[in-house]
Structure 1
Amino acid sequence: MSDEQRLRIERRSVLDRITSNGTISACVMILAAVAAVICANTDAYYALHEWFALPVSIGIAGWEFSFSFELFVNDFLMAIFFLLVGTELKYEMTVGELRRPRQAMLPMLAAVGGVIAPACIYAFVNRGGAVYGWAIPMATDIAFALGVLSLLGNRVPPAIKVFFSTLAIADDLLAIVAIALFYGHAPSMMWLGAAAVVTALLVVLNIRRHFRLAPYLALGLVLWFCLYQSGVHATLAGVILAFTIPARSDIDAGGLVEWVRAKLPELDDRYDDEAHILGQHDFTHAVNGVERVMHRVTPPLQRLEHAISTPVNFIILPIFAFVNAQVRLVGVDPATLLFDPVALGVYFGMLLGKPIGIVGMTALLVKTKLAELPTGVHWPHVVGVGILGGIGFTMSILIAGLAFTEIPAELLAAKTAILAGSISAALIGLIYMHCVCHKRA
């Protein structure tokens, strides 16, 4: 291997480390949100909103379908985000913590507590008012929260990261169910039936062991369109698609090593040191055959996750943050906003409801001996997890947009509280976990 080739590989590995770093991706999303708030409070706000309202058109054979750029981000691009969330859920249910019900039970039920308590606090504060936003403070932002936790480095025991990751994934699943059940429009049965047919076709592909991604993605687009037309939130197509994509390998991994070993002499015989690689057709044909086999070793679900994780974390989520964090405070009475029931319900639901629900449900399960704390996890850690669970940026903003689409004042109050609550939970949780982990180090 030449020095130039080695440097190229090293540069690629550095890029891979950057794009796989949760802290960096969380920082990019935060910077996008900060940029959105700054722009929203300048004269650029009006130009941006005109741009967000511009139609995005898709035309096929004389047929045209269009919606605004903002809807394109919130309904289509976020479906790709939900596709990534779905792959993570399926991974955990196949080989991760969620495959062992007894071990997964505690963080999953703690997530239920972390959903109920914030929703109750919001509903109590907004009783008789804008109670429809009850689900806004219940969601935990996985990327943001785990990015904050990763700032503590190796001082956080691995058991806490597993506990928190499982809880956050279960939390996301509950948020997805809430969106599906409570935040769609009156559904069209015809389009729901079409979506069911497409889902059935995806299941048939899986059962018949089709391992190419292209048919799944094509049907996934059709499924998205059917759900979009049905009135059910179209982002759910991403989760449905993820659960139908095979998590198995198309190749018998047990015999792979022997097969590759048998191929090596053939490759060695066909390679000519003195000939240009473009002219070595026999060699490149043999290598191409090996590449095709090796490519099929990785399960389609894993290939898909690798393909979309970087675009989702570094393009889609920052775009979503920039479009949806447009909190314009110019001309708004701070006192009115500060004491708005929606803002109070969201803020205290995130900051108080999350730790109360998570710690309370965990304590109930442990005290009744239905579960026990994982080895390496102590009660101060559970409190820290509860505080960090209040970081609800992405999903909370999405739900707020669904809940208050036609009520700008309430949407502004909700988004302001989401930003304030997420930042407060991140700072308090980071300081608290730093102190707790430092004492136990």
Structure 2
Amino acid sequence: MTDAPRRRPSLFARRSWGETSRIFGILRKETVGGALLLVGALLALIWSNSPWADGYQALRDLRVGPAALHLDLSLATWAADGLLAIFFFVAGLELKREFVAGDLRDPRRAAVPVAAAMGGVLVPALLYVLIAGGDAAQGWAIPTATDIAFALAVLAVVGRFLPSALRTFLLTLAVVDDLLAIVIIAVFYTSDLAVGPLLGALVPLAVFGLLVQRRVRSWWLLLPLAVVTWVLMHASGVHATVAGVLLAFTVPVVRSRAAGGPDAGPGLAEHFEHRFRPVSAGVAVPVFAFLSAGVTVGGLTGLATALTDRVAVGIVVGLVLGKPIGIMAATWLVSRFTRADLDEGLNWLDVFGLALLGGIGFTVSLLIGELAFGLGSERDDHVKVAVLTGSVLAAGLASVILRIRSRAYRRVHEVETVDRDRDGVPDVYQAQPDRSA
């Protein structure tokens, strides 16, 4: 008897219902955060280009904090170093959960978003260096980031009927992208490294890790240790947001066997994620956007001047062209080497639309711009104009494609939500074969 031909693996195959429902919850929260981010950025732009622009600058430059600990920082610096540490803490929790207990613990599933994220870093960085070069080369990492909240907010508006696997892919890609961004910040944007405070930060970090491994949730124990870790990391010269990721990586994802194991419910990482994601999406990122996005454009003449700077050109090209080219190329290479096909009903135009969304590099791009050229410098102002322009262009182009494709997927969406037996799990997710690459 002849064996049936083996079915080829599939890219963007439907995930398990448990993972899909969890990610849908994240998408809803990040969508709200994206809307608040846009409001904060818009208010900053309006205020900084109004007759009261001096008041905005004075607010950003207002210094608060204990001088004895070298923490008498401006509000803008507190937002970039402090609030974004919360953002990266949540991103670190999500990344660890994906690779420990999520569907990405399977290397076949992890290969696509990881490769796509790496391609989305390498190509825009290369294009930026080719265009800007010279003394501006230190800004090479600016167009490599993807803003989770901004991108998901756009996706929620124009792509609500897209298959769940595509939306999950974008979220996972953006999370891996955040990890790459924090590695880049730690390695390439650290100056005057102080070894003493860096080693000192390992002590409260280790105690924090020991407590969370024992499932301690007491905020009055964990929060002071996290703050001390952040303070020492800040004093070491390594960007303080790195502390957020390191703290997140110590948090256990699954329950211990004594507590019932993975089947006993969500672990401590998911508990912390539920607690801190609203703070990150609803407070940290919007406030950072408000204190960082304000730039005096100076009318059409000022806008033209900013966008003709080779730094700005490199950023816009990197975001609008480099990100989608890198993501598409890496995804295609994975499909070629694994001999995997797109899942039934999908086509490469869908992937291209998501790749364009990857060019929305708002939050982390602004942060890297400040690190590369100095907060408040003329080049930093050009970076802000370019990041805003490139992100809006990428969002606009992606919206056109994804709105068209979303209409085509309306029927697929209806199928994915049918639950005839009313058990809370759509029928299409029950007893489905795993064909993912």
Q: Same fold (TM over 0.5)?
A: yes
Structure 1 residue 202 displacement after superposition:
2.9
Structure 1's 356 and 18: CA in aligned 2 closer, same or farther, altered over 3 A? closer
Determine whether 1:368 maps to 2:337: yes
Determine whether 1:163 maps to 2:169: yes
Structure 2 stretches of 5 or more lacking a match? 1-24, 411-437
Q: Show the counterpart of 2:285.
A: 317
Structure 1's 411 and 370: CA in aligned 2 closer, same or farther, altered over 3 A? farther
Q: What amino acid is the match of 1:56?
A: V
Structure 1's 178 and 430: CA in aligned 2 closer, same or farther, altered over 3 A? same
Q: What amino acid is the match of 1:26?
A: G
Structure 1 residue 214 displacement after superposition:
4.0
Q: Show the counterpart of 1:379.
A: 348
State which structure, 1 or 2, has the greater radius of gyration over its C-alpha atoms.
Answer: 1
TM-score (norm 2): 0.81
Whole-angstrom CA distance in 2 between matches of 1:406 and 1:162? 34
Determine whether 1:326 maps to 2:297: no
C-alpha contact (below 8 Å) 1:159/1:374 kept by paired residues? no
Whole-angstrom CA distance in 2 between matches of 1:191 and 1:375? 54
Determine whether 1:56 maps to 2:64: yes
Q: Show the counterpart of 2:37.
A: 29
Residue 155 of structure 1: SS of its match in structure 2? coil
Whole-angstrom CA distance in 2 between matches of 1:32 and 1:301? 29
Whole-angstrom CA distance in 2 between matches of 1:140 and 1:64? 31
Determine whether 1:108 maps to 2:77: no
Q: Show the counterpart of 2:381.
A: 412
Q: Show the counterpart of 1:397.
A: 366
Q: Show the counterpart of 2:429.
A: none
Determine whether 1:426 maps to 2:395: yes
C-alpha contact (below 8 Å) 2:303/2:385 kept by paired residues? no
Q: What amino acid is the match of 1:39?
A: W
C-alpha contact (below 8 Å) 2:162/2:409 kept by paired residues? no
Whole-angstrom CA distance in 2 between matches of 1:235 and 1:44? 32
Question: What whole-Å deviation, never above 9, does each CA across 1:207-241 have from its counterpart, x for those lacking one?
Answer: 44545454332211111011000000001111111
Structure 1 residue 19 displacement after superposition:
11
Q: What amino acid is the match of 1:300?
A: L
Determine whether 1:174 maps to 2:180: yes
Number of paired residues? 384
Residue 50 of structure 2: SS of its match in structure 1? coil
Structure 1 residue 360 displacement after superposition:
1.0
Q: How does 1:82-161 map onto structure 2 within 5 Å?
A: 82-152=88-158, 154-161=160-167
Question: What whole-Å deviation, never above 9, does each CA across 1:331-365 have from its counterpart, x for those lacking one?
Answer: 76443222110110000100000111011111122
Q: Show the counterpart of 2:435.
A: none
Q: Show the counterpart of 2:305.
A: 336
Q: What amino acid is the match of 1:215?
A: L
Q: How does 1:176-195 map onto structure 2 within 5 Å?
A: 176-195=182-201
TM-score (norm 1): 0.80
Bigger shift: residues 316-325 or 90-99:
90-99
C-alpha contact (below 8 Å) 1:123/1:131 kept by paired residues? yes
Structure 1 residue 203 displacement after superposition:
3.2
Question: What whole-Å deviation, never above 9, does each CA across 1:186-215 have from its counterpart, x for those lacking one?
Answer: 210111111223333333334445454543
Structure 1 residue 86 displacement after superposition:
1.3
Q: Show the counterpart of 1:349.
A: 318
Q: What amino acid is the match of 1:35?
A: L
Residue 327 of structure 1: SS of its match in structure 2? coil
Q: Show the counterpart of 1:261.
A: none
Structure 1 stretches of 5 or more lacking a match? 1-16, 258-295
Structure 1 residue 129 displacement after superposition:
3.3
Q: Show the counterpart of 1:77.
A: 83
Structure 1's 388 and 153: CA in aligned 2 closer, same or farther, altered over 3 A? closer
Whole-angstrom CA distance in 1 between matches of 2:99 and 2:176? 11
Structure 1 residue 146 displacement after superposition:
1.4
C-alpha contact (below 8 Å) 2:159/2:406 kept by paired residues? no
Q: What amino acid is the match of 1:362?
A: T
Structure 1's 44 and 406: CA in aligned 2 closer, same or farther, altered over 3 A? same
Whole-angstrom CA distance in 2 between matches of 1:54 and 1:43? 19
Q: Show the counterpart of 1:7.
A: none
C-alpha contact (below 8 Å) 1:141/1:393 kept by paired residues? yes
Question: What whole-Å deviation, never above 9, does each CA across 1:297-330 have from its counterpart, x for those lacking one?
Answer: 7533222222222222122211111110011012
C-alpha contact (below 8 Å) 2:30/2:149 kept by paired residues? yes
Whole-angstrom CA distance in 2 between matches of 1:64 and 1:171? 31
Residue 252 of structure 2: SS of its match in structure 1? coil
Whole-angstrom CA distance in 1 between matches of 2:241 and 2:108? 31
Identity of aligned residues (%): 39
